[in-house]
């Protein structure tokens, strides 16, 4: 009897989801088998504090030190949570795989959807590239810990990156049901993995840093003068938080595969941010309390692994790095899933060259071609990582990180602004901000503009044109790559696309144009 009731409830959800999707103009092409927990799990896995907190720790250590980490993390996390609330309201109203570009085109005009789609696509490709390259880097470190005399250079790290990227593509192509299961496993790996690392860093070291060091010590290894600490160097350190807590739009991109998406995807999005913010802060504080050898960490350009090797026994250091590598692998797998769904949806609406190819699904209802195309693009974007920066820091890696942050957050900005412009004309779904949308929306818009400006700036003096130590390998190529793509996309729009790109294209005949998101809802639930 219980089984029959559960099946009946599931069928009702599927019917409502299919109706909702038909309202928005689409037939159900992807398999809707994901639970609300799986939807939450993909964004939680992409945020992955076992990835971002490890791979970009050095950026915050060198640009601000403990101050940038202890205070910067909760400060920036609060702003990101506000952005998440704004996006939760939108995914509740528009639960489609197109996600944010669909929102922009629907609330604005096709041109808004066009630029949002491309910014989102660039950001998702860059996130995939940076996560998988970070995973390869830490895997190389782990191999060095396991084998004395190991010397895997940049070429070998890039080879590991290629292997990881291919594995993620294969898992997503041949393991559609497995991906949903692994998303769930990833959540618990992150929860118990972080708990294990914190306990190791509490009980493993012989001594710990003082509270005054963790709360107030400043470090400036950027090469810029100390006079620039507060208004330039410290904000560059915030890249740690802004990069780690991103990719949460995945909840929207898999909404067409999620049951009860209008509510569960909205909750999954903001909860993935909130839980990651709390867990990440605890993890980072454990790093700082264990960072007793400041000079040794500085000598390794602020690499988080220097904390483990100087504070822990070799065995415990290996355990910590191994836990992180597995978490990063899960994260990269989830990134490929999100990227491929957005690519497929944007192609479905003919926004990507070769859209007929990328919008196909195989017999298992998996967008195989979109998966392959996105992974190839991630590979190409990461090619500059083969060249070592004269500063010793992985400038190319941080440039890819900056591209990810700027691309994604600018894509978030457009629909949030358009929702502000719509005002009371906006028809909410079952999860809504109510009247709070105005103040939260403007806070989100201003924060995104500020961080986007900072993250296109030089990351080191050698990257500043005119500096005596200037070198192309030290240049933050994020503005160059993004500028070139936007110039191409903008030119394409002006010369051609504006004549044929109409935004979301209906695949359902006979759907009433007057239907608005929210018409099927019993009533909105205010946040």
Q: What is the DSSP string of 386-449?
A: GS--TTSS-HHHHHHHHHHHHHHHHHHHHHHHHHHHHGGG----SEE-GGGHHHHHHHHHHHHH
Q: Is 27 exposed, middle or buried (0-12, 13-18, 19+ CB in 10 A)?
A: exposed
Q: Which ranges of the chain have pLDDT less than 70?
A: 1-15, 176, 388-396, 398, 473, 507-527
Q: Is there a contact between 483 and 122 (Cβ–Cβ < 8 Å)?
A: no
Do 56 and 424 touch, CB atoms closer than 8 A? no
> What's the CA gap between 17 and 264, in Å, rounded?
11
Alpha helices in 204-233 (DSSP H): 211-216
Give the burial class of 90: count Cβ atoms within 10 A of its Cβ; 0-12 exposed, 13-18 middle, 19 or more buried: buried
User: Any residues with CB less than 8 A from the CB of 196 and at least 6 apart, and which?
Assistant: 319, 323
Q: What is the pLDDT of residue 396?
A: 65
In this structure, the chain runs to a length of 527
Place of tokens 């109706």: 19
User: Residue 511: what pLDDT?
Assistant: 43
- What residues contact 475, with CB distance under 8 A and at least 6 apart? 395, 399, 458, 463
Element (H, E) at 11: helix 2-23
Q: Report pLDDT for 207.
A: 93
C-alpha to C-alpha distance for 347 and 323, rounded to whole angstroms: 37
What are the angstrom distances between the C-alpha of 113 and each of 249, 344, 519, 523?
15, 15, 23, 28
* CA distances, 370 to each of 38, 57, 344, 431, 488 (Å): 21, 32, 6, 31, 21
Instruction: Give the pLDDT of residue 389.
Output: 60
* Residue with the two structure tokens 């700036």: 457
Q: How high is the pLDDT of residue 198?
A: 97
Per-residue burial over 130-147, b = 16 or more CB atoms within 10 Å of its CB, e = otherwise: bbbbbbbbbbbbbeebee
């Amino acid at each position: 009897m219980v089984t029959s009731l559960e099946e009946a409830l599931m069928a009702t959800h599927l019917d409502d989801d299919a109706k909702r999707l038909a309202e928005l103009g689409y037939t159900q092409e992807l398999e809707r088998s994901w639970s609300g927990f799986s939807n939450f799990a993909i964004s939680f896995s992409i945020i992955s504090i076992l990835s971002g907190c490890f791979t970009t720790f050095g950026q915050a250590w060198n640009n601000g030190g403990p101050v940038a980490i202890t205070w910067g993390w909760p400060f920036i996390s609060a702003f990101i949570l506000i952005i998440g609330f704004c996006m939760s309201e939108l995914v509740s109203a528009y639960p489609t795989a197109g996600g944010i570009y669909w929102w922009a085109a629907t609330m604005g005009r096709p041109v808004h959807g066009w630029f949002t789609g491309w910014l989102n696509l660039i950001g998702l490709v860059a996130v995939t590239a940076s996560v998988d390259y970070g995973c390869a880097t830490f895997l190389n470190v782990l191999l060095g810990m396991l084998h004395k005399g190991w010397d895997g250079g940049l070429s070998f790290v890039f080879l590991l990156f290629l292997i990881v990227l291919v594995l993620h593509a294969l898992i997503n192509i041949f393991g559609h049901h497995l991906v949903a299961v692994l998303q769930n496993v990833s959540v618990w790996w992150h929860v118990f993995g972080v708990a294990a690392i914190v306990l190791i860093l509490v009980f493993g070291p012989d001594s710990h840093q003082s509270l005054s060091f963790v709360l107030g010590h400043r470090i400036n290894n950027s090469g810029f003068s100390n006079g620039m600490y507060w208004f330039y160097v410290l904000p560059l350190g915030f890249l740690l938080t802004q990069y780690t807590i991103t990719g949460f739009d995945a909840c929207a991109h898999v909404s067409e595969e999620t049951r009860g998406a209008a509510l569960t995807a909205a909750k999954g999005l903001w909860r993935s941010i909130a839980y990651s913010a709390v867990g990440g802060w605890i993890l980072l504080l454990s790093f700082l309390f264990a960072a007793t050898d400041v000079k040794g960490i500085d000598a390794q350009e602020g690499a988080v692994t220097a904390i483990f090797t100087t504070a822990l026994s070799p065995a415990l250091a290996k355990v910590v790095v191994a836990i992180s590598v597995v978490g990063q692998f899960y994260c990269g797998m989830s990134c490929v899933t999100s990227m491929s769904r957005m690519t497929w949806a944007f192609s479905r609406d003919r926004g990507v060259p070769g859209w007929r190819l990328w919008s196909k699904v195989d017999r298992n209802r998996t967008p195989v071609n979109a998966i392959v195309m996105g992974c190839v693009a991630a590979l190409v974007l990461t090619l500059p990582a083969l060249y070592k920066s004269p500063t010793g820091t992985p400038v190319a890696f941080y440039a890819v990180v900056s591209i990810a942050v700027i691309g994604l957050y600018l894509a978030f900005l457009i629909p949030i602004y358009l929702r502000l412009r719509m005002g009371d004309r906006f028809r909410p779904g079952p999860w809504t901000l109510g009247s709070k949308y105005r103040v939260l929306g403007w806070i989100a818009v201003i924060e995104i503009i500020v961080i986007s400006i900072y993250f296109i700036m030089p990351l080191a003096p050698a990257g500043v044109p005119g500096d005596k130590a200037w070198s192309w390998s030290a240049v933050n190529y994020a503005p160059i790559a993004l500028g070139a793509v936007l110039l191409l996309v903008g030119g394409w729009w002006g010369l051609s696309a504006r004549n044929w790109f109409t935004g979301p294209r209906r695949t359902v005949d006979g759907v009433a144009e007057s239907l608005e998101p929210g018409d099927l809802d019993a009533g909105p639930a205010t946040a």
